[in-house]
Structure 1
């Protein structure tokens, strides 16, 4: 595990904020799946996710088009997750072609899945922390438009509104 990454993601207040949600609720998961499907459909993309990025891993809460081992384990190590970059930046993060982008050419996730392009928007919690991301991923290089960004941003806002309805009282 990359200790610098762990330190940046494992901020105690951020982790407590993530823990305040009932992330295992079937209704929440179904709602987030619907949001992911809508974004993928509107953008004609094969994969979309709503995920939380924990201190060591990305945890997929809602998805569309996720298959194989990723669907079974419902996530990937934080070092492999493109959503980690979105969370750490705290702003939209875009990759046109991960196989030629020096930040991602060595990423095992891209090699194993065949996915190449990514557009993610942060999920901003009420405590001010970036908790996760809503993203769309494609298997081809792709230049994302302002309209694509608006679709993913809208999905992220819908995802946070839904998550808030599953927030446990403190």
Structure 2
């Protein structure tokens, strides 16, 4: 099995996808609330970009974003194989990248060059069934070492995001 096929299979695990389908991710009232969480985390952590994202089987869908422009903003996401949040989802725990230019795992990721990503810190969005649905993260254009305090801010935002999402559960 090739790497991309394996990735899609892991992300597309049926129970996880069923949980994602339970939420009204396209509800018009949801985006503004998630964007407020992203903006708050970006400001608290002095980061140019912050996201609240759901990672589907083949795409990252931005529920809320701060500092995102261009085609990513217009498309409301990226391919899953390019999304750093995919690593957070698959790990099921915080995932940090100090400097993408020196990291062998991410060296060939075209998204990092496209938008100038150098560092990333993300925490998982875990629903009440224990499934990791997405991530809340900050992204910086400079190398950065993330602290426990940084992760605490992100965990707080993730908790808020899941609390809000629970009100958008459709079944």
Equivalences for 1:89-108 in 2 at 5 Å?
A: 89-108=91-110
Partner SS state of residue 25, structure 2: coil
What is the aligned length? 169
**Structure 2 counterpart of 1:26:** 28
Under a length normalisation based on structure 1, what TM-score does the superposition of the two structures give? 0.97
Under a length normalisation based on structure 2, what TM-score does the superposition of the two structures give? 0.97
Partner SS state of residue 21, structure 1: coil
**Which 5+ residue runs of structure 2 have no aligned equivalent?**
none
Give the superposed CA RMSD: 0.9
Equivalent residue in structure 1 for 2:149, among 142, 147, 150: 147
Q: Distance in 2 between matches of 1:66 and 1:26?
A: 19
**Structure 2 counterpart of 1:119:** 121
Q: Distance in 2 between matches of 1:27 and 1:56?
A: 25
Q: Distance in 2 between matches of 1:100 and 1:68?
A: 26
Q: Distance in 1 between matches of 2:149 and 2:16?
A: 30
Residues 1-51 of structure 1: CA deviation (Å, up to 9, x unaligned)? 811001100011111110111111121110000000000000000000000
Q: Distance in 1 between matches of 2:5 and 2:128?
A: 27
Runs of 4+ displaced beyond 2 Å: none
**Structure 2 counterpart of 1:5:** 7
Q: Distance in 2 between matches of 1:104 and 1:142?
A: 15
**Which 5+ residue runs of structure 1 have no aligned equivalent?**
none
**Structure 2 counterpart of 1:63:** 65
Q: Distance in 2 between matches of 1:27 and 1:97?
A: 35
Partner SS state of residue 119, structure 1: strand
**Structure 1 counterpart of 2:78:** 76
